[in-house]
Amino acid sequence: MNEAILEKMKAMKLLGMVRAFTMSVEADKTVNHTADELLEWLINAEWDDRSNRKQERGIKNARFRYKAMVEQISFADTRQASKNQILRLADCTFIERRENVLITGSTGIGKSYIASAIGHQACSLGYKVLYEHSAKLFSRLKLAKADGSYLRELVKMEKQDLLIIDDFGMQPLDQQSRAILMEVIEDRHGKRSSMFTSQVPVHNWYEVIGEKTIADAILDRIIHDAHRLELKGDSLRKRKTRTAEEPTA
């Protein structure tokens, strides 16, 4: 009888219930539950299982650069000054308010890791997140224009609660990249949150984008009311290398 019930649960894709019921039968605990207690336990198990699988799918689809967690962010030395701001961003209420985040600082200081950690946290809270490296993003969207998939790509990005564009400004944008960025930002402005990381200070982004009229339009939508996280200090990668090279006593 139990096997028949389990097969029906599997057919209905109630995988959380299957695991919970199997564990209960193996431990001979079903007799200790009233009917309503057993039903509540099975439903909660199914709910938790679906929530976990949804979170795992979200993280996989986001394609983060790092498997990062907020709890693993180092706040040592000069980055200690940014601790409160990072932790406030990690509650992800900025996504609910449809606000942007700009993370700037020198190379190797941990911008991408922090962005990935906040993105992971957003996924755990049920938000849809997409991580993109800026150079690869523009290259892919240029190809999408050629093969007819451009609008589909734009719609996909527009649906994300948080779009992370990493390493923005590594090289000046050409005319096609400017137009692409304008469309991406215009689709999201006031409706979704975007996060940018960059080695270039925000006041120099006009030069990166080029063509003053378009730069004004893009940056007005990105910067207005955005949270700015300016990381200071030495490269963490260089610091780790120096530490590894130091002779032991």
Model pLDDT, residue 44: 86
pTM for this model (two decimals): 0.77
Confidence of residue 163 (pLDDT cuts 50, 70, 90): very high
Task: Output the CA angle 131-94-89, nearest 5 degrees.
Answer: 75
Q: Is residue 244 part of a domain?
A: no
Asked if residue 7 and residue 118 are part of one domain, the reply reads: no
* Of 61, 93, 110, the domain-final residue: 61
Residue 7 has pLDDT above 70, yes or no: yes
Q: Is residue 36 part of a domain?
A: yes
- Residue 183: name the closest of 144, 147, 128 by CA: 144
pLDDT single digits (tens) 189-203: 999 999 999 999 999
Q: Which domain holds residue 27?
A: 2-61
Asked if residue 117 and residue 48 are part of one domain, the reply reads: no
Asked if residue 179 and residue 68 are part of one domain, the reply reads: yes
pLDDT single digits (tens) 174-193: 999 999 999 999 999 999 99
Q: Is residue 25 part of a domain?
A: yes
Q: What is the dihedral of CA 128, 133, 135, 138, to 10 degrees?
A: -10
Asked if residue 235 and residue 166 are part of one domain, the reply reads: yes
Asked if residue 193 and residue 94 are part of one domain, the reply reads: yes
β-bridge pairing 193-198 and 101-104: parallel
Task: Report DSSP state, residue 247.
Answer: P
pLDDT single digits (tens) 10-60: 888 888 888 888 887 777 665 567 778 778 888 888 887 788 788 788 888
Percentage above 90 pLDDT, the chain: 53
The structural domain count of the chain equals 2
Q: How far apart are alpha carbons 219 and 167 in whole angstroms?
A: 16
Q: Is residue 248 part of a domain?
A: no
Q: Is residue 249 part of a domain?
A: no
What are the Cα distances from residue 122, in Å, to 48, 58, 96, 147, 231?
A: 17, 9, 10, 32, 21
- Among left, alpha and beta (phi > 0; psi -120 to 50; other), residue 104 is beta
Burial of 132 (0-12, 13-18, 19+ CB in 10 A): buried
Asked if residue 75 and residue 43 are part of one domain, the reply reads: no
Asked if residue 122 and residue 20 are part of one domain, the reply reads: no
Asked if residue 160 and residue 39 are part of one domain, the reply reads: no
